[in-house]
């Protein structure tokens, strides 16, 4: 805490001076100005030192039970908002219905208020490549003023291109989404979304699940094992950089206990989402990053015609027991947009990074990943930073070099994301030796701007075995 206190003092002095200045100009704004300043000072001071790590089990409170699910709330010291853990049991329909019941008001608020505001902020910077000309022209000409109307049209277009591919998955994701809507309406009715049997809500939830396909994510990932780690076991890091909006505040852990559709798996995701961008299972761990490139490497081609990346990731989590099985699912998928995927498993205690493109899935490990990244090679480490690849940025290789041979969950979490400033929405780390998963989340204000990013926040430690063994009440 010494470093934090040292940084806090000058910030507080600045706040006092600012408050005195504002008081002379506008007395009523003085209290608000110093409060805002102190919040920013505390967040900045906290970021100066290693992130604290807390055992989530000691700070968990049960909130609600339904027939096929239960919801808990985690509030570790330093939390700015509750973190929810939701367990779902049964087949896809039973799990979806419980999802909707447990998060009814949260889902409605998310889709009615928070996401429309997010669309307004994002519409001007939207990558329209791959969209038809008529839709590109609509986005460019109408922009922010009609963003809440245009975004659903764009998401519906993406869904139309992909529906038959998504429906072919044995995960039964459309059954699950329809059941979420039914679960919401069983609690929230009357609601405009629940009229006509909830058809409007089903459509909206399906559209929202296309968001990761329309808006790409900048992220970092690393797998470290063998000689590189203190315990010689696999440690897998995933940081999600997605920008502002409601996602940090709404990040949650969803633990699925399928009755007849694969293995138990967990996603670090958002209300109403059934795809995955971050997750782990009884057998594997997964991380993801957009495949943006710098010259002279050509950008891999892509299109919306296929199975959305987030739903391929969902299939990998639910139906893979090894990283080789995961790679097989990726290779057989009707792939859309290029991304990087990282897979580690308990069986091998090792990690592969895949450049997953429409044309081919390139599989990399510690021996050849530098061919794609142009970064320093380390035995038993494969990593990609948040920048376009190949990357000239020295932060991540410098950290790997500094901690090589001594890497633990704690020193990775407390140093890598914070120093790299990677992971604004959420961060996850899977410790395959200790069977632990760690999560940190960002916090945004009512305008969607960050108050604190995930790499500045405390980490919550979850016992994986306890998650899988949690029984239906």
The tokens for 436 are: 């632990």
pLDDT at 391: 92
pLDDT at 24: 44
pLDDT at 145: 87
3-class state of residue 182 by DSSP? helix
For 271-297, write each residue's pLDDT tens digit. Answer: 999 999 999 999 999 999 988 887 777
Q: Are 381 and 364 in contact (CB under 8 A)?
A: no
Assess if CATH 3.20.20.70 describes domain 217-469: no
Number of helices (H), then strands (E), in the chain? 18, 19
pLDDT at 143: 80
pLDDT at 46: 42
Residues of the chain whose pLDDT is less than 50? 1-47
pLDDT at 189: 67
DSSP string, 399-420: HHHHHTTTB-HHHHHTTHHHHH
229 to 42, 127, 141, 404: CA distances (angstroms): 33, 39, 53, 7
pLDDT at 44: 44
3-class state of residue 151 by DSSP? helix
The full set of domain ranges for the chain reads 2-49, 93-212, 217-469
pTM of the model: 0.88
């Amino acid at each position: 805490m010494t470093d934090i206190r040292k940084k806090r003092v000058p910030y507080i002095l600045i706040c006092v001076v600012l408050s005195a200045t504002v008081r002379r100009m506008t007395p009523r704004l003085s209290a608000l100005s110093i409060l805002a300043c102190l919040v920013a000072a505390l967040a900045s001071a906290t970021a100066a030192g290693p992130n604290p790590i807390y055992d989530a089990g000691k700070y968990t409170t049960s909130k609600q039970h339904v027939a096929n699910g239960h919801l808990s709330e985690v509030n570790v010291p330093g939390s700015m908002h509750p973190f929810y853990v939701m367990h779902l049991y049964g087949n896809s329909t039973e799990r979806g219905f419980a999802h909707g019941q447990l998060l009814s008001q949260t889902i409605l608020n998310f889709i009615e208020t928070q996401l429309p505001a997010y669309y307004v902020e994002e519409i001007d910077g939207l990558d329209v490549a791959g969209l038809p000309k008529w839709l590109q022209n609509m986005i460019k000409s109408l922009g922010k003023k009609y963003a809440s109307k245009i975004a659903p049209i764009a998401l519906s277009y993406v869904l139309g291109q992909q529906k038959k591919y998504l429906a072919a998955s044995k995960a039964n994701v459309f059954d699950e989404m329809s059941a979420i809507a039914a679960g919401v309406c069983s609690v929230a009715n009357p609601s405009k979304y629940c009229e006509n049997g909830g058809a409007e809500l089903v459509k909206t939830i399906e559209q929202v699940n296309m968001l990761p396909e329309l808006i790409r994510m900048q992220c970092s990932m690393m797998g470290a094992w063998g000689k590189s780690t203190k315990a010689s076991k696999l440690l897998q890091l995933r940081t999600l950089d997605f920008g502002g909006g409601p996602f940090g505040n709404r990040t949650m852990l969803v633990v699925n206990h399928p009755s007849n559709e694969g293995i138990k798996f967990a996603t670090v995701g958002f209300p109403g989402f059934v795809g995955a961008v971050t997750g782990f299972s009884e057998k594997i761990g997964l991380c993801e990053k957009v495949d943006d490139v710098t010259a002279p490497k050509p950008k891999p081609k892509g299109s919306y015609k296929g199975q959305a990346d987030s739903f391929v990731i969902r299939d990998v989590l639910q139906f893979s027991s090894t990283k080789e099985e995961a790679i097989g699912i990726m290779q057989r998928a009707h792939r859309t947009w290029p991304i990087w995927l990282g897979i580690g498993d308990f069986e091998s205690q090792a990690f592969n990074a895949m450049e997953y493109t429409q044309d081919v899935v390139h599989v990399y490990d510690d021996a050849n990943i530098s061919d794609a990244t142009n970064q320093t090679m380390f035995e038993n480490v494969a990593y990609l930073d948040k920048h376009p690849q190949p990357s000239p940025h020295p932060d991540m290789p410098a950290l790997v070099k500094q901690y090589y041979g001594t890497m633990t969950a704690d020193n990775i979490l407390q140093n890598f994301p914070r120093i790299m400033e990677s992971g604004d929405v959420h961060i996850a780390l899977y410790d395959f030796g200790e069977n632990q998963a760690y999560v940190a989340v960002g916090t945004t204000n009512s305008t969607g701007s960050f108050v604190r990013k995930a790499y500045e926040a405390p980490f919550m430690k979850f016992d994986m075995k306890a998650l899988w063994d949690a029984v239906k009440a």
